[in-house]
Amino acid sequence: LTYTDLSHKFRTALLCNAAPIVVRLHILCGTEFASKGYLQPLKPEDVGYSTEDFWPGAMKAVTWDGVTYGVPTNNETMAFIWNADIFKRAGLDPDKAPATWDD
């Protein structure tokens, strides 16, 4: 089940008054449901963790209007890796990271 399918299924369950007790959502979907009043507050401390255990950006993704509605469980850090030899052949400085996608 993809996160998109899961979100659709959760929306349907909410409309049918048949929502699950616990749901795992894509990190970007939680605020949608929290902003509509569909979620109950849930902090990491409620399940044996500390808010400080998590990256602040991840906590921001599970927080709406100052209230935490979940525990981030799967976070990704994107990286940009370039091939120095290809950069040299293209006339670019291989020691300087690109500043934009156009670079």
Alpha carbon distance 70, 56 (integer Å): 13
Confidence (pLDDT) at 41? 96
3-state secondary structure of 102: coil
- What b/e string do you get for 64-103 counting C-beta neighbours within 10 Å, with b at 16 or more? beeebbbbbeeeeeeeeeeeeeebeeeeeeeeeeeeeeee
Mean pLDDT, the chain cut into blocks of 10 residues (103 residues total): 89 94 84 92 96 91 94 76 88 84 77
Residue 34 half-sphere exposure, CB side, CA atoms within 13 Å?
20
User: Any idea which residue has 């044996």 for tokens?
Assistant: 48
What was the pLDDT predicted at 77? 67
Distance CA(39)–CA(2), nearest Å, equals: 21
Question: For residue 31, what pLDDT is reported?
Answer: 85
